[in-house]
Amino acid sequence: MLPYLQMVSGLIEGRPVSLTEVVAMLLRALRQHRMARTRRIDHTVAWLHAEPP
């Protein structure tokens, strides 16, 4: 599946894309997706816990 994603992203961007770039894109997308799943209040509580007033 990774070679297919490599080919498609290379066609979209109009340049050769390495497998490491594809993996980095996927990891970035997964990281952003996970954050969207948390409830806003949970995110706020975690932020306040990390940086108390």
What residue segments make up the domains of the chain, in order of their start? 2-50
Which amino acid, one-letter code, is at 22?
A: V
Contact 17, 3 (CB under 8 A): no
pLDDT per residue over 1-53, tens digit each? 889 999 999 999 999 999 999 999 888 877 765 556 667 788 788 888 887 77
DSSP, res 40: H
Nearest to 19 by CA among 35, 30, 4, 39: 4
What pLDDT sits at residue 29?
79
Would you say the C-alpha torsion 10, 13, 16, 19 has a positive or negative sign?
A: negative
- Number of other CB atoms surrounding residue 17 within 10 Å: 18
Predicted model pTM? 0.54
